[in-house]
Each structure stands twice: as structure tokens, then as C-alpha cells.
Amino acid sequence: MSTRDRFVRIAGALAVASMAFASSAALAAWEPTKPVEFVVPAGTGGGADQMARLIQGVVAKHNLMKQPLVVVNKSGGAGAEGFLDIKGAKGDPHKIVVTLSNLFTTPLATGVPFNWRDMTPVSMMALDNFVLWVNAETPYKTPKDYLAAVKAAGPSKMKMGGTGSKQEDQILTVGIEKISGTKFIYVPFKGGGEVAVQLVGKHVDSTVNNPIEAVAQWRAKQLRPLCVFDEKRMPYPAKITDTQSWQDIPTCKESGLDTSYTMLRGIFMPPGVTDDQKKFYVELLKKVRATPEWKDYMEKGAFNQTYMDGDAYFQWLGKAEQMHRELMKTAGFLSN
């Protein structure tokens, strides 16, 4: 073989190796290079906080990510603190945030300069239900029983506890008032965990807490669920108490209280991140959803297990924002 032929072969081999290396580099997926801050725009103990910490634990247990997730609660300003933090972290792929429907209600109620479009939607993990709860020592067995007592007591005599002001719980409370002709004193607390404790202590007469925020007190026979505000009953037949499962709780509509509402549990990133960085979290969260821990959590918390990502999620968010705008306008909660 001539020197020239050897040179051509070597050059060709180098070219192939170079192309393979370039292709391999192109296929190498992005992943975090330092701890990821997982922002919760709500207080500790509530539904959003519980979901974030469950995801944190699942990721660590199953080694789904080389870097740790670090949960940080930023609940100031009805969650505005957390959302503005993510909005201001443009291009930072080492921050994610778990959202609830204060994603819509907080800017609409306060005028804070933030919109869900200021962040990067990653995926809808589930929709959270709301249940009308009363203390188990009260005589009320149905929404009709309870609302009749509220009406008999007179306007602003009985207290409805909820998380935050002009947010999901109070919006739902106003809806109940308009449909039933009642009027509550709405008492806001920092998180759903505190709301459940206040109802056990009889400091309020009822709540519209999420299932997971009050399941421990229900199991302990301290609280009683009257109805769920979803379109369908929760599809979970396992008994929580000696006699009842989530599936046994009627919908509010079938109980004569004609209203429904579910709440987003979604994940977002800051604006300006790359498609590869977003894809990493989409795939990570799919792995989380496939674990037995997640499935157990969904059942114990009686979630509506709707999942979305990509364009379907983006379109859903736009419709949900408009729905919340209309609900808050009806309630008189809009900032302008």
C-alpha cells in the first residue's frame, strides 16, 4: 500500500470517528449539574408541599437523577414569592416549581406582575379534588343537612376554613354560597394541613380541603366528608375508615349542591430554558409517575389522575386561566 493510500485510509477513519463523536455528543441528553431547587409556592403541610416532597423522595429512592432535589417553600403573597422567583430565574434549568391553581388566582386577585406564560410548562401531574368536610362530632351527614343548618344560623354565623384569601378555597366557598343561598365567615389559613387541624379543633365549622390534606383526620374519625366537587366519584374502593372508601363519597352535584371544581397540580420551569432541559424533567416526571410510591400516593390522596404535557398542557392552561378569570369576576375578587 502506498503512503498516499495509507494517508487516505487514516484520514477516512478519523473522519468517521469524528462524525461518530459528534453524533454521540448530539445525542447526549442534558441533565442537572448541581442540586435542583424545587419551589413550593405555598406553606408546609398542604397538598402542593406534600406532592413536592413525595417527588423528592421518589427521585432519591430510585436514583432517578444524579443531583438532589431540594424543596423550598416560598409562600409569601399567596404564592407570588415563589412564582416571581421562577420568573426571575430566566434560563436557569436548576429550578422547578410545583403549581396549584394560585398560578391563576394570585395574579388575578393581586395584580402582581406575573402570568403562567412567564414560566415554561413542563407537565400536569394530576388534578386535585376538593371535599366538603365537617367535624365528625357534628350531626351533619349530607351537604343538604349542613347547608340547612348554615342557613338556619343566619348570614355570617358559621365559619368556612380554607387556604389563603381569594384563592381556590374561597372561590369554591363563594360558589357554594351563591348556589345554596347561604353566607359563611371565610377564615383563611396558610396551608391545608393547618386548615384540617382547625376543623378538628372546632375553630371553624367546615372546610373545602383537598383529600390528602384531611385523610389522616378522616381515618382517625375526627372529620367527616360530605361530598366531592369533581364531576365523578373518586375511583378508589379501598376502605379508609372501617366503613368508607373515597369511592363512597358522593359528588356534590348528586347530593344537590350543583357545583364542581378541581385544582391543577403541575410542574413548571423558568422561562428561557432549552427544549433538552425541559425534556429532561418531562421524562424524569414520567419515571416518577411509574413508581409504586406515586401510584400509592395518587390513591391515598384520591387524585384525579389526568396527565398532560406539550401542546395539550399549554392549551389546557389557557382555558383554565379564562375559567378562573370568570369565577373570580363573579366572586368580585379581580384586582381591577
233-268 residue pLDDT tens: 999 999 999 999 999 999 999 999 999 999 999 999
pLDDT single digits (tens) 186-198: 999 988 889 999 9
| Whole-number pLDDT of residue 13 | 52
Where are the alpha helices (H) located in the chain, listed in sequence order?
3-27, 47-61, 80-87, 102-110, 143-153, 168-180, 192-200, 211-219, 275-289, 292-300, 310-331
What is the share, in percent, of the chain residues with pLDDT greater than 90? 78
182-191, 198-207, 294-303, range with greatest mean pLDDT: 198-207
Residue 8 pLDDT class (50, 70, 90 cuts): very low
What is the share, in percent, of the chain residues with pLDDT greater than 70? 92
User: Is the predicted pLDDT of residue 21 greater than 60, yes or no?
Assistant: no
User: Is the predicted pLDDT of residue 19 greater than 50, yes or no?
Assistant: no
Mean pLDDT of 257-286: 96
- pTM of the complete model: 0.80
pLDDT single digits (tens) 65-108: 999 999 999 988 888 999 999 999 999 999 999 998 889 998 99
Residue 163 pLDDT class (50, 70, 90 cuts): confident
Q: Could you tell me if 263 and 125 are in contact, meaning their C-beta atoms sit under 8 angstroms apart?
A: no
Q: Could you tell me if 83 and 119 are in contact, meaning their C-beta atoms sit under 8 angstroms apart?
A: yes
